[in-house]
Amino acid sequence: MDILCVGAGFSGAVIGRALAEAGHSITVIDARDHVAGNCHTARDPATGVLVHEYGPHIFHTGDREVWDYVNAQAPFRPYRHSVRTTVQGRVFSMPLNLLTINQFFGTTLRPDEARAFIESKADTSIRDPQSFEEQALRFVGPELYEAFFRGYTEKQWGTSPANLPASILQRLPLRFSYDDNYFSHAYQGIPAEGYSAVVTRILDHPGIDLHLSTPYRLEMADRAGHVFWSGPLDGFHDYDLGRLGYRTLDFDRFEKQGDWQGCAVMNYGDRDTPHTRITEHKHFAPWESHEMSVLFREVPRACGPGDTPYYPIRLVEEKALLSQYVARAAANEGVTFVGRLGTYRYLDMDVTIREAMDTARAFLADPGRMPAFVHAPL
Ligand code: FAD
Ligand code: UDP
């Protein structure tokens, strides 16, 4: 069957490759002039540093099949992500761990003591935290919440943490040890030549025809037996019910000699610092050496038409609109919506790949009964 994959990010590439291997004829298109979607990496011409063009990307997963899959495409190098954060004129370790707690409170607590100390600060009257703010007050108490989460989160999401779901904070561990690993997954790494090299390898199959700088046009679907859409769900419907809310990011680039901040990512928790973080990309490839360094300040703001959508907001208002678009999508035949934009969910790369594998398997099992969503947006 002739199949069209819209988007050459991990979603479109993994589905396209699986179906090409099963003998289908695949066209992959992308509006951008590069593969890998928001995971795109490219060498900075001025410094030679490999830059994660749409913000820092660290591969981490507990899914062995996904880990083996990406490593089979291109070599990954071990990389362990630890973040620092600057608040109130001091530098701390992030995620919150024993070092953060002891430095912030000027204590020398051991793990059990720290656990009891933080529990004494926590608002235990909150039994079932619903919002980000309740989750923070319940588990870390007011001082740590105010210093490390409130300002950063207001800048990141453009709203009070009281309006945001607890699930956003649940992404971060809270550790009563000196372990400062940002992630808890068993497998973690960075591809030696960047993510675009990985996606290029996935798309390198005689059954796949790749067209970059090619936005989707309606007549393309007429020629395809099935479409896998990893573009924006509302974009497929020409935004005719309104736009789903996203946060976008402005990146402010600067160059320095040597090593400017000493780590890959420095967060800025204070509300009066406009950026949320600064990324120094050379630290993502400690196996390389570069005299110069390139850094980006990240400033989040509301996403307008023409901006790159980064973070789906998914508040009550957006969810109401989302359910209308989901109903519209379900009424289409021959189109399956996938990935971060197609299902309007915050998905890490490993989950994106896992879902793309599941989607391809569902199609191969029964192409005639492919639903609009294998993974539901709501
Ligand atoms: P995308 O990568 O967005 O690809 C979709 C593609 O579709 C795009 O290339 C787009 O150009 C194309 N497209 C859209 N509309 C059209 C159209 N009409 N016609 C043609 N093409 C179209 N994940 C992690 O695991 N670790 C991290 O550290 C991490 N950091 C992140 C940091 C930031 C700032 C962001 C925003 C995300 C991060 N992620 C991270 C998530 C990661 O970026 C996603 O999991 C991944 O990009 C999802 O892949 P995708 O193929 O679904 O979507
Ligand atoms: N967060 C925060 N302070 C920090 C880091 C994170 O308040 O120093 C909050 C913020 O709301 C963010 C969420 O925790 O959106 C999840 O953090 P993560 O690093 O997973 O964010 P992402 O990878 O989505 O940028």
Both structure tokens of 277: 């973080």
Q: Which atom of ligand 2 is nearest to the CA of 182?
A: 19
Both structure tokens of 378: 């709501």
Both structure tokens of 356: 């793309």
Mutation pick for ligand 1 pocket among 57, 214, 283 (CB with most ligand atoms within 8 Å) = 57
Q: What pLDDT sits at residue 1?
A: 87
Mutation pick for ligand 1 pocket among 11, 30, 38 (CB with most ligand atoms within 8 Å) = 38
Nearest CA among 90, 116, 92 for reference residue 102: 92
Q: Whose CA is nearest to atom 14 of ligand 1?
A: 231
Residue 247 annotated to the active site? yes
Residue 99 pLDDT exceeds 90: yes
Q: What pLDDT sits at residue 286?
A: 96
Residues constituting the chain: 378
Distance CA 148, CA 356 (A): 35
Number of Cβ atoms within 10 Å of the Cβ of 242: 12
Residue 298 annotated to the active site? yes
pLDDT in tens, 49-75: 999 999 999 999 999 999 999 999 999
Distance CA 50, CA 48 (A): 7
Q: Per DSSP, what are the bridge partners of residue 52?
A: 41
335 phi and psi, to 5 degrees?
A: -130, 130
Sign of the four-CA dihedral 30, 31, 32, 36 = negative
Q: What pLDDT sits at residue 357?
A: 98
Residue 29 pLDDT exceeds 90: yes
Secondary structure (DSSP) of 81-117: --EEEEETTEEEEES--HHHHHHHHT----HHHHHHH
- 2-41+54-80+189-242+314-369: CATH superfamily: NAD(P)-binding Rossmann-like Domain (3.40.50.720)
Share of residues in the chain with pLDDT > 70 (%): 100
Q: Which of 17, 277, 340, 345 is catalytic?
A: 277
Spacing, Cα 321 to ligand 2 middle (Å) = 25
Q: Which of 138, 175, 201, 354 is catalytic?
A: 175
Distance CA 348, CA 320 (A): 24
Q: Per DSSP, what are the bridge partners of residue 267?
A: 85, 277
Q: What pLDDT sits at residue 378?
A: 87
Nearest CA among 256, 259, 252, 251 for reference residue 288: 259
Mutation pick for ligand 2 pocket among 87, 156, 164 (CB with most ligand atoms within 8 Å) = 156
**What is the pLDDT confidence band of residue 339, given thresholds at 50, 70 and 90?**
very high
**For residues 103-119, average pLDDT:** 98
Q: Which atom of ligand 2 is nearest to the CA of 153?
A: 11
Residue 115 pLDDT exceeds 90: yes
Helices (H) and strands (E) in the chain, counts: 14, 17
Spacing, Cα 39 to ligand 1 middle (Å) = 6
Average pLDDT, the chain: 97
Nearest CA among 185, 196, 238 for reference residue 78: 185
- The CATH 3.40.50.720 domain(s) of the chain lie at 2-41+54-80+189-242+314-369
Q: Which ligand is nearest to the CA of 266?
A: 2
Nearest CA among 34, 64, 32, 73 for reference residue 51: 34
Spacing, Cα 161 to ligand 2 middle (Å) = 12
The secondary structure element, H or E, covering residue 19 is helix 10-21
Q: pTM for the complete prediction?
A: 0.98
